[in-house]
């Protein structure tokens, strides 16, 4: 093996090159408050059709500032408003928000000094550097007196120029006897000066409970709102053209005994298909016996196709040092998440099968603060604004993606099947396959080799029916056939597409069990899994990345069964025993790996200059180490009769190939 090791090291040394810079990053200070003790807060940004930028933020003594770079350099002005109740112009205001519609009309909304009214103005961006004259909110609502709570507000504009404003407000009875924190929503159509206001989720009387850290987005005829709080996480949506709110509660994020499982710092956007995607910071700050502090950064997205279930991606470790997430998605479906807690950072999710997250920007540690805002322009350039707890500066970062990037489009994956795994001569057998596609592409099914009597019918909607009648006289053996899931972007049967292999046991009695192997090779959801499985994640594991969906083995024990994703993301048969399925699945993969390893190792031994074989063997050796680690973790499998012997036999095959 010494000779082989030398060749591999030599080869790796030859091919090692310096990788070109994939992301061009620039950082600059674009504003410094005149007061050195000021700490800038509540930064919000918008971009127009020509990719000019516009921002609002709060500086010293609650002064709100507006800035833009449309003239080539950043210019600012202090925004004031006239308070008709006090009959005077106010220098200070709170919680500004900004949005620009498709016609480049810019709107700024801010709350008054007493946080009991809103002031707004809309003008064309060409006039934005002129004087601003804010109007009274003119609110139409049946609600009682309200008071805006903390930093919890956000605004967006829809395709028709309608404005959607969300804020967390403490609402009072007229006599002041009761109050509650509520998720409140304002809407103003493009041709009206009246803001319609309503409570989406009324809070619990005399308890601060709902509405914290909101975020709002629109796509097409839909408006989406995420609603955090000290107990629950909600998602609200409705049609802008009319309809009631559809409110979803993510109850799976509450563990028994939790008093304050905060869902805070939420950021929402939509992907190119118009489906909602949001990220939030989850932590638990009430320690009871058996429970520990935990923190988590969770990315959730909801497909507009298939069963439409929310998928959760929990990819970040050390979440307590990140916090304050902001999310944006470019025109090609590439995800970016920025953080601002310990120091400003930006991560991106790859479009590869593993959907791995990579840090592309790591800012100074003395710039930490929970106020970050990120936006992407029409050229997919990223713009990040952040501030610091230690100085009076506003920082601006741009990221240009120079990577060899292609559109994030993934092949469909198998979500379930039905059909027993045994059959007898002359018996009629029926089964089905179901699949999902992350981009809602049309799914097709294809098989290369199968017995002539096996019929597969694609019935649409990602479902195929399978039927067969084994001819009389064929007494024993296996009926084996594989079905591939394809779409228009992935029409070839290669290593990237998912495949399901039925291995039906054929006997005269038709009672001996066979198996079904599901191999989801490249799933667009990557390490994500259905939100319904979050309850299976232990509290102590909440601050670590969760495992995702992978290739798997299912062993039927009954007439038919439907597969679902378990907490590990595996497809399992709900009607079959699962005690040995993980062990059997591993051994099948490992034995197949050993069969592939041996001939490649022999090629290298025969010809040490066979660079193609060396490349393949290098990858296989890395996989071999991972298999060894995986077997050690499957300690329950070691005591199952015959399993250790099978593992050792496959390992011996690899060892002999190396000698």
pLDDT at 542: 46
Measure the CA–CA gap between 337 and 526, rounded to whole angstroms: 16
Q: With bands split at pLDDT 50, 70 and 90, how would you rate the model's confidence at 325? A: confident
Structure tokens at 464: 């195929």
Q: Is the pLDDT reported for residue 20 higher than 60?
A: no
pLDDT above 90: residue 168: no
Higher pLDDT, residue 547 or 385: 385
What pLDDT score does 237 carry?
93
Rounded to whole angstroms, the Cα distance separating 43 from 646 reads 60
The secondary structure of residue 214, as a DSSP letter, is E
Confidence of residue 346 (pLDDT cuts 50, 70, 90): very high
pLDDT digits (tens, 9 = 90+) for 176-206: 666 666 778 889 999 998 888 887 876 555 5
pLDDT tens-digit map of 238-270: 999 988 999 887 754 554 444 445 556 788 999
* Side-chain-side CA neighbours of residue 301 (13 Å): 27
Containing 553, the helix (H) or strand (E) segment is: strand 552-554
- For residue 320, pLDDT over 80 is answered with no
Kindly tell me if the per-residue pLDDT of 276 is higher than 80: yes
- What is d(CA 233, CA 383) in angstroms, rounded to the nearest whole number? 28
- Token pair, residue 528, equals 């994500």
Whether 254 contacts 233, CB under 8 Å = no
DSSP secondary structure letters along 318-378 = -GGGT-S-EEEE-TT--EEEEE-SSS-EEEEE-SSTT--EEEEEE--GGG--S-EEEEE-T
pTM of this structure: 0.72
**How far apart are alpha carbons 571 and 577 in whole angstroms?**
13
Over residues 442-457, the pLDDT tens digits come to 999 998 778 889 999 9
Task: Output DSSP code: residue 409.
Answer: -
Sheet of strand 463-469, all strands in order from the earlier edge strand to the far edge: 413-418, 428-436, 463-469, 455-460
pLDDT (0 to 100) of residue 180? 66
Pick from 538, 550, 547, 630: nearest CA to 315: 547
| pLDDT score recorded for residue 342 | 75
Which residue reads 């699949």 in tokens? 435
- What pLDDT score was predicted for residue 549? 35
Cβ-based burial of 557 (10 A; exposed 0-12, middle 13-18, buried ≥19): middle
Q: How far apart are the first and last CA of the chain?
A: 6
Where do the structural domains in the chain lie, given as residue ranges? 579-659
Q: Where are the beta strands (DSSP E) in 471-627?
A: 477-486, 499-506, 515-519, 529-530, 552-554, 563-565, 571-573
Q: Which DSSP symbol is given to 63?
A: B
Task: Check pLDDT > 90 for residue 175.
Answer: no
What is the torsion angle, in degrees rounded to the nearest 10, for the CA atoms of residue 399, residue 404, residue 408 and residue 412? -160
CA distance 316 to 76: 37
Report the pLDDT value the prediction gives residue 307, as an integer from 0 to 100: 62
Closest CA to 289 of 251, 253, 256, 263: 256
Q: What is the mean pLDDT of residues 602-630?
A: 81
Cβ contact 156:217 at 8 Å: yes
Buried b (16+ CB within 10 A) or exposed e, 529-538: bbbebbeebe
Residue 293 pLDDT more than 60? no
Of 336-345, 400-409, 493-502, the range with the lowest mean pLDDT is: 400-409
Asked if 134 and 110 touch (Cβ cutoff 8 Å), the reply is: yes
Name the DSSP class of 175.
Answer: T
Sheet holding 393-401, edge to edge: 23-32, 393-401, 382-387, 372-376
Mean pLDDT of the chain: 78
β-pairing verdict for 422-423 and 499-506: parallel
pLDDT score recorded for residue 568: 32
Residue 584 CA to its chain's centroid (Å): 31
225: three-class secondary structure by DSSP: strand
Higher pLDDT, 7 or 285: 285
Residues found in the chain: 659
pLDDT at residue 470 greater than cutoff 50 = yes
Q: How confident is the model at residue 406 (pLDDT cuts 50, 70, 90)?
A: low
* Model confidence at 41: pLDDT above 90: no
Tokens of 354: 């593993």
Q: What is the pLDDT of residue 623?
A: 85
Outline where DSSP puts E strands in 437-498: 444-446, 455-460, 463-469, 477-486
Give the Cα separation of 431 and 131 in Å (integer). Answer: 70
Averaged over 93-100, what is the pLDDT? 91
Of these ranges, 70-74, 351-355, 515-519, 632-636, the one predicted with the greatest mean pLDDT is 70-74
Contacts of 492 (CB under 8 A, 6+ apart): 486
* Helix-helix angle 611-633:2-15, to 10 degrees: 110
């Amino acid at each position: 093996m010494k000779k082989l090791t030398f060749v591999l090291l030599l080869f790796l040394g030859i091919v090692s090159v310096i990788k070109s810079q994939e992301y061009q990053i620039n950082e600059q200070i674009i504003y410094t408050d005149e007061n050195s003790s000021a700490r800038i807060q509540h930064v919000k940004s918008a971009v127009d059709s020509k990719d000019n930028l516009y921002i609002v933020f709060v500086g010293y003594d609650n002064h709100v500032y507006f800035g833009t770079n449309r003239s080539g350099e950043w210019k600012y002005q202090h925004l004031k408003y006239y308070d008709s109740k006090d009959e005077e112009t106010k220098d200070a205001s709170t919680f500004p928000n900004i949005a620009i519609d498709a016609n480049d009309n810019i709107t700024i909304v801010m709350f008054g000094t007493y946080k009991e009214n809103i002031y707004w103005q809309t003008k064309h961006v060409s006039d934005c550097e002129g004087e601003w004259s804010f109007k009274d909110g003119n609110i139409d609502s049946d609600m009682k007196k309200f008071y805006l709570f903390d930093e919890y507000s956000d605004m967006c504009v829809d395709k028709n120029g309608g404005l959607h404003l969300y804020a967390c407000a403490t609402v009072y009875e007229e006599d002041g006897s009761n109050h509650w924190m509520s998720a409140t929503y304002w809407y103003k159509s493009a041709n009206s000066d009246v803001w319609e206001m309503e409570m989406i989720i009324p809070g619990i009387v005399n308890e601060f409970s709902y509405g914290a850290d909101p975020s709002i987005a629109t796509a097409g005829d839909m408006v989406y709102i995420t609603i955090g709080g000290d107990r629950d996480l909600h998602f609200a949506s409705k049609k802008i053209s009319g309809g009631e709110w559809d409110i979803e509660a993510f109850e799976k994020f509450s563990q028994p005994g939790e008093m304050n499982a905060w869902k805070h710092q939420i950021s929402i956007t939509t992907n190119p298909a118009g489906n909602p995607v949001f990220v939030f910071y989850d932590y638990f700050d009430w320690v009871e016996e058996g429970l520990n502090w935990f923190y988590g950064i969770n990315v959730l997205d909801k497909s507009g196709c298939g069963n439409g279930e929310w998928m959760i991606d929990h990819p970040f470790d050390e979440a307590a040092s990140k916090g304050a997430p902001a999310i944006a998605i470019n025109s090609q479906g590439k995800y970016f998440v920025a953080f601002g807690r310990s120091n400003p950072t930006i991560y991106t999710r790859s479009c590869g099968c593993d959907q791995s997250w990579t840090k592309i920007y790591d800012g100074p540690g003395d710039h930490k603060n929970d106020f970050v805002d990120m936006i992407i322009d029409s050229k997919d350039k990223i713009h990040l604004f952040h501030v610091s707890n230690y100085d009076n500066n506003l920082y601006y970062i741009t990221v240009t993606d120079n990577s060899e990037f292609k559109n994030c489009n993934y092949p469909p994956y198998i979500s379930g099947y039905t059909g027993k795994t045994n059959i007898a001569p002359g018996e009629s057998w029926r089964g089905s396959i179901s699949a999902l596609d992350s981009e809602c592409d049309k799914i097709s099914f294809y098989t290369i080799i199968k017995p002539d009597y096996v019929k597969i019918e694609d019935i649409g909607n990602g479902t195929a029916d399978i039927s067969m009648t084994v001819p009389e006289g064929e007494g024993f053996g296996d009926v084996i056939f594989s079905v591939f899931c394809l779409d228009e972007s992935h029409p070839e049967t290669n290593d990237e597409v998912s495949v399901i292999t039925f291995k039906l046991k054929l006997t005269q009695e038709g009672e001996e069990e066979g198996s079904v192997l599901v191999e989801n090779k490249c799933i667009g959801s990557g390490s994500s899994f259905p939100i319904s499985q979050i309850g299976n994640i232990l509290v102590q594991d909440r601050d670590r990345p969760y495992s995702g969906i992978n290739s798997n083995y299912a062993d039927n024990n009954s007439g038919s069964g439907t597969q679902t994703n378990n907490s590990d993301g595996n497809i399992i048969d709900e009607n079959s025993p699962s005690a040995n399925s993980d062990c059997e699945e591993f051994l099948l993969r490992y034995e197949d790996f050993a069969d592939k390893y041996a001939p490649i190792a022999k090629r290298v031994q025969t010809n040490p200059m066979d660079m193609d074989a060396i490349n393949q063997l290098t990858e296989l050796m890395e996989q071999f180490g991972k298999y060894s680690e995986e077997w050690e973790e499957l300690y329950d499998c070691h005591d199952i009769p015959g399993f250790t012997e099978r593992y050792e036999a496959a390992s011996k095959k690899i060892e002999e190939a190396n000698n």
